[in-house]
Structure 1
Amino acid sequence: MVTSVILIKVERKKINEVAEQLAEMPGISESYSVSGKYDIVAIARVANNEELAELVTKKMLAIDAIQKTETMLAYKAYSRHDLEAMFNIGM
């Protein structure tokens, strides 16, 4: 599984709309409206790098209100929660 954090700059009046669109998109497990340089942070969890590329460069690119993204790959999770068990559905 590939996990990434995607920082997203969006047209100001479209933040909530885009966050909702992202939350419904396969591969995006969560989206948050945030303060700071970026407007939305999305967490992507996909099977491989090819799926991540498809998500960021095709599916997200189709949302016109997105102005800029910065994608960071997660190497290792440090958490008290078993994230893999939460997102693993018998695969």
Structure 2
Amino acid sequence: MITAIVLIDAATDSIGEVATALADTEGVSEVYSVAGGGTDLIALVRVREFDDIADVIAGRINKVPGVLDTKTHIAFRAYSQHDLESAFALGLD
């Protein structure tokens, strides 16, 4: 699974509508409304193939009315408490 973090600048008067449309977009797993740094929304894109990233971001996210600009970061490796717990789980559930 390939994960991309997309920082999105949206039209101020339609942030809620943009977030809802993005959340309904195929390939977008989560959308967060954020404050600070000039970014309005952060979307997590999860796809199986590297080429699918362009389809989701350029082909879908950038075409949502109210999206003004995007900056994309590709994740190389995930580090989280959830990942650590599953890596060391003994399967005693």
Instruction: Give the TM-score band, short-chain normalised.
Output: 0.7 to 0.9
C-alpha distance in 1 between matches for 2:29 and 2:65 = 21
Q: Which runs of 5+ in 1 are unaligned?
A: 86-91
Count of paired positions: 83
Structure 2 match to 1:88: none
Amino acid of the structure 2 residue aligned with 1:25 = T
Amino acid of the residue matched to residue 42 of structure 2?
A: V
1:28 maps to amino acid: V
Structure 2: tracts of 5 or more residues without a match: 87-93
Percent identity, please.
36
Q: 1:25-44 alignment to 2 at 5 Å?
A: 25-36=25-36, 37-44=38-45
Q: 1:15-48 CA distances to partner (integer Å, 9 max, x unpaired)?
A: 0111111111111110011001100000111011
1:57-68 residue pairs with structure 2 within 5 A? 57-68=58-69
State the distance in 2 between where 1:58 and 1:14 align: 20
The aligned residue for residue 55 of structure 2 is 54
Alignment correspondent of 2:71: 70
Distance in 1 between residues matched to 2:65 and 2:17, nearest whole Å: 11
When Rg is computed on C-alpha atoms for both structures, the one with the higher figure is 2
Q: How many angstroms does 1:64 deviate by? A: 2.5
Give 1:14's aligned amino acid. S
State the shift of 1:58 in Å. Answer: 0.9
Residue aligned with 1:64, SS: coil
RMSD over aligned Cα, in angstroms?
A: 1.3
Q: Structure 2-normalised TM-score? A: 0.84
Letter in 1 for 2:81: R
